[in-house]
């Protein structure tokens, strides 16, 4: 019973990190990040925001790989 | 633009290198290529690096080099959905694909439709899924051919002949080496394309001091670089719908099933997003063309070639062209292979010759590689049909999305039956097709629904019908059958 409970928590954590966070931040927040200002290094906020997410998303997936699924890299 | 003899030599050397390496693929890691899984998915031997190139080679093709800058040039920020949907696809890949892979490995499945057949114990549903996949592959292969045609024309080759030669080569190396050919070819292809994009990036970055001035020029001249408010719903639904549909492409499943273990797939969903950097910069290259008014004719597909021709010497342009050629050949070969697998396994084997030995399946597969490539070649050459490609292309993602319940949801909802899934598919497919007729195939965003993406409208109807049908099926106490065991659904090796 307690094992199932732990497994369920892990599943919820995994779903949140892998799906809910990127979905909200990138898809449903689109009306919020679709703006020109503030600019970063001349880039409109829209472009800069999506650009840094290209790097954030693999990091989140790596965290799940390493610490939730506890898989070895090599 | 005029090219020197040296330019032509460079061009041929690069293209030739890919062809030679792809042929060598047949000998690579000695295998018995008369076995269907050895030929069609490389015997499930591929490690992280090859799978990375293989899947990347498949997703990021020469088409992105033309269409992403073109999209930014004509529609501003809307095209950024391409960078967003990867962030939907990769975590989804991480979560869902290992489960599908482990089932496929246990039962020696080669296509998604193989899984559907066993899961629902229904060859009809499997056939529907296979046909949806085939329908989606055809315009994709044709598109690669159009990319090649474009380059050959620009280089002043006799188009029709060189075009047919290029595709005989693609067909030949797919036939000889199976998945091993394109797997090796995609390594060179990506090295060349990465080289081109990074070079263009560095040169333009210096020239336009980090692109800031490009954005401000456009902003002050009143051309929007943002997502138009009217298309916000379209942006959201396109990103979401394409992100999910992505995994359902038969050619991507080929890459997934060719992996050595579930861990390789997980690692790749961490590593593959690196390619997304391309898409962002390609969109910005399109904006450069717009800001500097490099395409007076306004033809959006010329945005990237114009950037190359304006800022680079002819030798570099030629290298970029060879990149586009091999960036078309390799994906075309992968897509033809995935289609041939569907025809062999889910149509020929299932409906015509149940007892075909493996060597015969490989033979049929090889024949259909040629048939698919030839069909797409006709598509690309006949002018009336080549207009149709772009219509079909807008439909392919939307249609494929309708196989989501059959391939993905069914792995989690273990009681889901074939009738509900089939009816949902039919409803979704009909809605998508109607929606595209409604806008005369001009776009996949439907004005009647606030410019919502047609695939999502279809999926909503699909799921609604599925739930109603499921309620009826349950009330009739129908018991569904499956050839899978409850213990087959696992997420780890």
Q: Which residues contact B367 (CB under 8 A, 6 or more apart)?
A: none
Q: What is the pLDDT of residue B288?
A: 94
How much is the average pLDDT of B411-434? Answer: 94
B56 to chain A, minimum CA–CA distance in Å?
A: 15
Contacts of B284 in chain A (CB under 8 A): 47
- Predicted pLDDT at B409: 95
Most confident of the following: A38-52, B31-45, B317-331, B379-393: A38-52
Residues of B near A (CB-CB distance < 8 A)? 77, 80, 83-84, 86-88, 90-92, 94-95, 209-213, 215-216, 219, 225-227, 232, 235-236, 239-240, 243, 263, 266-267, 269-271, 273-274, 276-277, 280, 284, 491-492
- Encoding tokens for residue B448? 């009647």
Q: Using one digit for the tens of pLDDT, what is the confidence trace for B317-328? A: 999 888 888 888
Contact call for A42 and B216, based on CB within 8 A: yes
Instruction: State whether ipTM is beyond 0.85.
Output: yes
Q: What is the pLDDT of residue B378?
A: 79
pLDDT, average across residues B68-91? 86
pLDDT digits (tens, 9 = 90+) for B98-157: 999 999 999 999 899 999 999 999 999 999 999 999 988 887 888 787 777 777 777 888
CA distance A32 to A29: 5
Residue range B271-294, pLDDT digits in tens: 888 888 888 999 999 999 999 999
- For residue A1, pLDDT over 50 is answered with no
What pLDDT does residue B426 have? 97
Calculate the alpha carbon distances from B259 to B161, B341, B426, B447 in Å.
37, 16, 32, 42
Please check whether residue A41 touches B, CB under 8 A: yes
Is A26 in the B-facing interface, judged by CB distances under 8 Å?
yes
Least-confidence region, from A12-16, A61-65, B41-45, B330-334: B41-45
Contact in structure between B289 and B306 (CB atoms under 8 Å)? yes
Using the predicted structure, report yes or no on whether residue B333 has a pLDDT greater than 90: no
Contact B80 A51 (CB under 8 A): no
B27 vs B388, which has greater pLDDT? B27
**What b/e sequence results for B383-397 when a residue is b if at least 16 CB atoms lie within 10 Å of its CB, and e otherwise?**
eeebeebbebbbbbb
8 Å CB contact of B95 and A14: yes
pTM: 0.89
Nearest CA in chain A to B240: A27
Q: Which of A32, A35, A47 to mutate to test the interface with B (most CBs of B within 10 A)?
A: A47
Task: Give the mean model confidence (pLDDT) for residues B479-483.
Answer: 87
């Amino acid at each position: 019973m307690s094992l199932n409970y732990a497994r369920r928590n892990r599943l919820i954590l995994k779903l949140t990190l892998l799906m809910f966070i990127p979905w909200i931040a990138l898809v449903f927040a689109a009306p919020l990040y679709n703006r020109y200002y503030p600019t970063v290094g001349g880039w409109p906020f829209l472009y800069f925001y999506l650009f840094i997410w290209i790097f954030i998303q693999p990091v989140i997936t790596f965290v799940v790989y390493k610490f939730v699924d506890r898989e070895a890299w090599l | 633009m005029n090219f020197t003899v040296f330019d032509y030599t460079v061009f041929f050397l690069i293209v030739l290198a890919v062809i030679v390496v792809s042929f060598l693929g047949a000998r690579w890691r000695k295998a018995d290529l008369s076995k269907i899984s050895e030929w069609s998915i490389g015997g499930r031997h591929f490690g992280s690096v090859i799978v990375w190139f293989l899947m990347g080679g498949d997703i990021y093709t020469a088409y992105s080099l033309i269409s992403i800058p073109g999209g930014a040039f004509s529609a501003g920020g809307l095209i950024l959905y391409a960078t967003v949907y990867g962030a939907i696809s990769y975590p989804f890949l991480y979560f869902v694909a290992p489960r599908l892979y482990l089932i496929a490995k246990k039962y020696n499945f080669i296509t998604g439709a193989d899984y559907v057949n066993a899961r629902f114990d229904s060859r009809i549903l499997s056939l529907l899924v296979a046909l949806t996949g085939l329908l989606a592959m055809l315009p994709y292969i044709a598109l690669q051919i159009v990319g090649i045609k474009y380059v050959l024309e620009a280089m002043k080759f006799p188009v029709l002949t060189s075009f047919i030669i290029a595709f005989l080569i693609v067909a030949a190396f797919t036939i000889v080496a199976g998945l091993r050919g394109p797997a090796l070819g995609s390594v060179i292809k990506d090295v060349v394309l990465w080289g081109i994009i990074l070079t263009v990036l560095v040169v333009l970055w210096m020239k336009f001091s980090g692109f800031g001035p490009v954005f401000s020029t456009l902003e002050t001249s009143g051309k929007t670089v943002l997502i138009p408010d009217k298309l916000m719903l379209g942006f959201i639904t396109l990103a979401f719908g394409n992100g999910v549909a992505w995994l359902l492409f038969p050619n991507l499943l080929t890459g997934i099933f060719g992996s050595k273990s579930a861990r390789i797939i997980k690692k790749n969903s961490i590593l593959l997003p690196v390619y997304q950097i391309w898409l962002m910069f390609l969109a910005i290259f399109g904006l450069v063309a717009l800001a500097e008014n490099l395409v007076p004719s306004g033809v959006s597909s010329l945005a990237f070639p114009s950037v190359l021709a304006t800022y680079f010497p002819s030798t570099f342009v030629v290298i970029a062209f060879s990149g586009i050629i091999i960036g078309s050949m390799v994906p075309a070969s992968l897509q033809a292979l995935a289609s041939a697998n569907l025809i062999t396994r889910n149509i020929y084997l299932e409906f015509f010759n149940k007892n075909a030995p493996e060597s015969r399946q490989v033979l049929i597969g090889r024949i259909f590689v040629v048939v698919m490539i030839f069909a797409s070649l006709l598509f690309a050459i006949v002018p009336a049909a080549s207009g149709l490609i772009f219509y079909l292309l807008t439909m392919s993602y939307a249609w494929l999305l309708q196989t989501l319940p059959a391939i993905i949801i069914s792995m989690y909802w273990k009681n889901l039956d074939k009738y509900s899934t089939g009816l949902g598919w039919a409803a979704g497919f009909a809605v998508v097709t109607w929606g595209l007729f409604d806008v005369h195939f001009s776009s996949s965003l439907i004005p009647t629904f606030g410019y919502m993406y047609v695939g999502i409208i279809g999926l909503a109807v699909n799921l609604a019908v599925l739930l109603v049908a499921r309620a009826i099926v349950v009330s009739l106490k129908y018991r569904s059958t499956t050839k899978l065991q409850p213990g087959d659904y696992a997420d780890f090796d």
